[in-house]
Structure formats: C-alpha cells, structure tokens
Amino acid sequence: MTITEQDQHQQMSLVKEKAAAAPAVIDRMKEHGHEQILFCNDAETGLRAIIAVHDTTLGPALGGTRMWPYHNEAEALEDVLRLSRGMTYKSALAGLDLGGGKAVIIGDARKDKTEAMFRRFGRFVESLNGRYITAEDVGMSTTEMVNIRKETGYVVGLPESMGGSGDPSPVTAYGVYCGMKAAAKTAYGSDDLNKKKVSIQGAGNVGHHLVDLLRKEGASVFLTDIHDDKLAAIKAEHPDVNIVRPDEVIGLDVDIYSPCALGATVNDETIPKLKCSIIAGSANNQLGDEDRHGRMLMEKGILYAPDYLINAGGIINCAWERRGYNRQAALSQTGDIYRTALEIFKRSSEEGIPTFLAANQAAERRIRSIRGAGLSF
Ligand code: NAD
C-alpha cells in the first residue's frame, strides 16, 4: 500500500497530538536526577507497571512495589518518581549501602491480581540485573512477593518461612520510637516519654507496635483509626489507651503527634490546629508540601522528625535479609536512628533551617562523598 502525502500528514498530526498530551518523561527525570525508568506492559496478564531507579551511587536501588488504581499513567509516573527519590534519601540517611528505587503497578489490588501478572512483573525486575531490588508496599502481600520470587532473586521482604525477614512493622515502629525519643530529648531536654501525651493516627501494623513501646514507657496514648476492629484489638491489650475520633486527632492538646496512617496530613488546614510540640510518625510524605509546610512548622515552634529519617526501620530490616537475616542486628542498626536524629535536629537549630532540609542535606552529603569516589553501581 502506498502511503500518500495526506496519510503521512495525518499520521504526523496524530503523533504530535499524542506527544502534546504525554508527559515529557526525560525532562521529569532530569528534574530530580532519576537514572532510569522501565515501563512494563504485558497484554496477556494485564500488567502495566513502571519501575523507577532514582540513584544507585550507594548501591542497588531498593524500594517496594505499590499496586494502586491510578487514574492514568501520568499519575502513576509522578508517584513512582517521587517515591523512588524518597528511597534514595531514606537509605542514605540510614547509612545503608543502597540506592533508591520504587515500582508501581496500575491496577486494583482487590480484583486484578493473578499469579501470572506478578511472575511477569518478576521477569521485568530480573531484566534490570540487580539495579533494582523490589519489596512489599501498599496493595501488595506476601503472596505476590512469593510469585515475584519465582522469576527473580532481586526481591526482599519474603516470609520468614522462606528465609526472609518477615513483617518489617515491629522494626519500623522501633525506629519511630527512637526518633520520637530523640525529638523529646531535643525539645524537652530529656528523652523520657513517661507521662508524655502522644496521639497516634492509624492503629495498623506500625501503630500497634508503637502503642506497645509507648505504653511500656508510661506514655499516655490517644489513638484513632477509621476501622473500629483495629482500635478494639489494641484496646483489649492496652485498656488505658484513649480512643478518639479520626476528626479529633489533629486538634488534640498533646505533646507529640504521630501520623501512622496516611501521607500529607500536615498541611495548610491542619498546621494551624496542631497543639503538639513534636511530630514523629511512620507515614511516608507527611508534609503536604515539603518546603512550605516544613518551614511553617519551624515558625510555629513544632519540631518535625522527618518521616524518611525515622521510619527507616523497615528498609533496614530488608537490607539485613540480603546479608543473612538477623533481627537483633536489624533492631540494633535501627536504634542508630536516635543518634542520627539528634544530629539532624542539632544542625537544624544551629543553622536555623527546617529539619527536613537538614536531613536532605545530610543524605546529599553522603551520596556526594561516594559519587566523588566514582563507585556508582
Ligand atoms: P497499615 O495499613 O497496617 O495501617 C494503617 C492504618 O491507618 C489502618 O489501620 C487504617 O485503617 C488507618 N487509617 C487509614 N486512613 C485513616 C484515617 N484517615 N484516619 C485514621 N486512621 C486511618 O499500615 P502500616 O504498615 O501500619 O503503615 C503505616 C504507615 O507507615 C503507612 O503510611 C506506611 O506507608 C508507613 N510505613 C510503614 C512501614 C512498615 O514497615 N509497615 C515502613 C515505612 C513506612
């Protein structure tokens, strides 16, 4: 068939139209220094995924796979770019020899999952030859991790029965607790949490273990969740915990607010209502807008413990799986969060900069010192 000039003209207009609607991917990668993006499509299994490798200066990029019903590809791309960058900073600050990466699968975790889909995804991970190591994240469970493992060894967070590190939540909660104590030491001169009033948003895996640690130390805990069964389970173990409604938690008169449910709960609407002097929780990306809200907290005299600094217990736990899992060693390394957090708070106060910025700068310094040695993975 001969392509006429008119056909060709029509085809080019179509390409231009589509190009105008598509996100400029390499430009977005350049903005924050992402190294590589792998777009994965498999018609037979319905797999549509994006793997982002942000920075491998310190080692292979480790970060979980999230399954989420994104409205479109652009939304999925933005999420994976943001999350993978966060992993670089988290590992760098935790002193791990790992870079930052993340993967997203576009789909509904309640109905779209099949063994074939996750095995196909495992092959895509394998094709990166270890530049990216995956783990569990929102929408994923051990079943999917086991199916991914059938196709690639570049996966961590497997069940203990398979030689893996199992549930990371207790270790994450311990890191948050250490970060909270460091914040208390900085704000009150003592890291004793006895009788301190702590509000926790989210009675999930991390929230539950955090309540255990705080009650053991004699803190007064105010807990909320949108699911009553989660609250009831904790209340049965800790009758002294005060249960509050989800809409009450932000304005409570407490010493410490601990977001352990969702991101972006610290924003224009909530900051004026906060009465706490410390924010220290496990949720990722707590600040709606890192720069603006980080500065607003500093102006209001609230000490913010950056989420990726104090919730690194989970990634530390996963990192130990690669060396031969040892929970005591993982907990001990997680305990270092206390010292790192004290240093970050000190630098923030000495330089008059928000804590998120002091943490970012510390992570960037470590990456630069290794990059200078030309050791990129
Ligand atoms: P989870 O799903 O077990 O618990 C989250 C809880 O928050 C659930 O019980 C849910 O009902 C509740 N929730 C949701 N929306 C809420 C709302 N508006 N108000 C009150 N409660 C609400 O998750 P998790 O493993 O405990 O993780 C908690 C947070 O910490 C997440 O943001 C997660 O990304 C982050 N995180 C977890 C780990 C880990 O090791 N599990 C590691 C790093 C970061």
Q: What is the pLDDT of residue 1?
A: 46
Q: Which of 161, 186, 210 is the last residue of a domain?
A: 161
Mean pLDDT, residues 167-194 taken together: 97
- The CB of 207 under 6 Å from ligand 1? The reply is yes
Q: What is the pLDDT of residue 3?
A: 55
Q: Which of 16, 18, 30, 102 is catalytic?
A: 102
- Looking from the CA of residue 262, the nearest atom of ligand 1 is 32
Note whether residue 334 is domain-resident. yes
Q: What is the pLDDT of residue 376?
A: 54
Domain of residue 202, CATH code? 3.40.50.720
Note whether residue 262 is domain-resident. yes
Whole-number percent of the chain with pLDDT over 90? 87
pLDDT 10s digits, 14-27: 656 665 666 689 99
Q: Which of 161, 189, 204 is the last residue of a domain?
A: 161
Note whether residue 325 is domain-resident. yes
Q: Which of 161, 191, 214 is the last residue of a domain?
A: 161
How far, in Å, CA of 286 to CA of 280, rounded?
10
pLDDT 10s digits, 40-74: 999 999 999 999 999 999 999 999 999 999 999 99
pTM of full prediction above 0.75: yes
Same domain (yes/no): 193, 224: yes
Give the chain's domain count: 2
Note whether residue 17 is domain-resident. no
- The CB of 55 under 6 Å from ligand 1? The reply is no
How far, in Å, CA of 287 to CA of 339, rounded?
23
Average per-residue pLDDT for the chain: 94
Task: Report residue 163's pLDDT band, with 50, 70 and 90 as the boundaries.
Answer: confident
Identify each DSSP E strand in the chain by its residue range: 36-42, 47-55, 61-62, 65-68, 99-106, 132-133, 197-201, 220-224, 242-243, 256-259, 278-279, 303-304
Residue 61 belongs to domain spanning: 35-78+99-161
From ligand 1's centre to the CA of 228, what distance in Å?
A: 14
From ligand 1's centre to the CA of 171, what distance in Å?
A: 14
Mean pLDDT, residues 339-350 taken together: 98
> Is 150 annotated in the active site?
no
* More confidently predicted of 46 and 324: 46
- The CB of 14 under 6 Å from ligand 1? The reply is no
- Looking from the CA of residue 205, the nearest atom of ligand 1 is 26
243 Cβ contact list (under 8 Å, min separation 6): 223, 224, 231, 235
Query: In the predicted model, is pLDDT for residue 257 greater than 50?
Result: yes
From ligand 1's centre to the CA of 261, what distance in Å?
A: 4
Same domain (yes/no): 346, 267: yes
Note whether residue 49 is domain-resident. yes
Same domain (yes/no): 219, 338: yes
